[in-house]
Amino acid sequence: MRSAITSEYRKFFTTRTWGVLVAVMAAGFFVGTFLISWLFAGQTSGSGPGGVDTARPYLFGIGASMGYIFPVIVGALAVTAEYRYSTIVPTFLGEPRRWVAMVAKVVAAVPMGFLIGVVGTVACIAGTGLGFIVGGGAAGIFTLDTLTLAGLSVLTHTVWALVGVGLGMLVTSQVGVIIAVLAFTQLVEPVLRVGMSVFSATQGIPKFLPGAAADALAGGHSVYAALSTGVTDQLTIWQGGLVLAAYGVAFGVLGYFLRIRRNVA
C-alpha cells in the first residue's frame, strides 16, 4: 500500500495538469471575488440586508460552494488520466490487487485536496478582502468567523477531491468525467435545488444533493441557498460532511465493480 501511495504522488507531481488547474482556479477565485466584493462595497455598507457583513461569508465560501469543480476534477484525473494514457496498465502490473491501487489513489488525494483547498480558500479571501478595501470598506479577514469558515472551506475542498476519485472510478473517461461534473454541478443540481424547494413534497430532498451537502459542510453560506428564497433547510456541518463523503464512497464502490475490475488493454 505504501509503495502504491508513493507512486500516486509521483504521478501527480510529474505532470503539468495539476499545476495548470490550480493556477486557473486561484486566478479565477481571486478575480471573481475581488470584482463582486468591490461592487458590493461601493453600493452598500454595514450589516443591513445586502450589506458587506452579510455578503462577506458568501464570498469567502465561493470556492467551496461554486469552485468545487477544481478539486473534483483533480481527484477524478488521478483515475481518468491513467485510463486516457493507458498508464493504468503499469499501475495494475505494479499493484495487481486493484482495490489496493484505488485505495492508494484515495489516500493520496487527501493532501492534494487539502492543498487545493488552501490555495482556493486563500484566493477567495484575499480577493474579497482586497475588493472591500478598494471599494472603501473593511476587509474583515481576521475575524474568528472567517477563520472557521476558511478551515471548513479547506475541508470541503478536500472531501470534494475524494468524491472526484470515486467519480473517476465510475466514469473512467476523461472527457466523460469533465462533462458529467460540469453538467451536474452547473446545471442539474442548481435547477433541482431551486426547483424542488418550490414544492412541499420535494422540499426535503435538495439538502441531500452533493452540492447542498457541501454547502452545509462549508458552514452553510451558499450562494444557491441564498437564491432559493425562503428555504433554509440545511444539514449540519457534520451531516453535510458525511453525506458528501457517502457520495464519494458510493461512486467508488460502484466504479470498482463496474469499471475497475474490467480487463485493461
Q: Which residues are at the interface with other proteins (CB under 8 A)?
A: 2-4, 6-7, 10-11, 14-17, 81, 85-87, 89-90, 92-97, 263-265
d(CA 222, CA 65): 6
Between 99 and 238, name the residue whose CB sits nearer to other proteins: 99
Between 15 and 47, name the residue whose CB sits nearer to other proteins: 15
Between 14 and 200, name the residue whose CB sits nearer to other proteins: 14
Nearest approach, Cβ of residue 26 and other proteins (Å) = 21
Nearest approach, Cβ of residue 239 and other proteins (Å) = 38
Contact 36, 59 (CB under 8 A): yes
Between 43 and 97, name the residue whose CB sits nearer to other proteins: 97
Nearest approach, Cβ of residue 265 and other proteins (Å) = 7
Nearest approach, Cβ of residue 179 and other proteins (Å) = 22
Between 93 and 201, name the residue whose CB sits nearer to other proteins: 93
Nearest approach, Cβ of residue 36 and other proteins (Å) = 35
Contact 236, 220 (CB under 8 A): no
d(CA 68, CA 72): 6
Nearest approach, Cβ of residue 10 and other proteins (Å) = 5
Between 154 and 177, name the residue whose CB sits nearer to other proteins: 177
Between 97 and 195, name the residue whose CB sits nearer to other proteins: 97
Nearest approach, Cβ of residue 260 and other proteins (Å) = 12
Cell numbers representing residue 149 in the block:
469558515
Nearest approach, Cβ of residue 113 and other proteins (Å) = 20
* DSSP secondary structure letters along the chain: -HHHHHHHHHHHHTSSHHHHHHHHHHHHHHHHHHHHHHHHHHH--TTSTTSHHHHHHHHHTHHHHHTTHHHHHHHHHHHHHHHHTTTHHHHHHH---HHHHHHHHHHHHHHHHHHHHHHHHHHHHHHHHHHHHHTTS---TTSHHHHHHHHHHHHHHHHHHHHHHHHHHHH--HHHHHHHHHHIIIIIHHHHHHHHTTSTTTTTSGGGSHHHHHHHHTTS--HHHHHSTT------HHHHHHHHHHHHHHHHHHHIIIIITS---
Between 16 and 230, name the residue whose CB sits nearer to other proteins: 16
d(CA 55, CA 33): 11
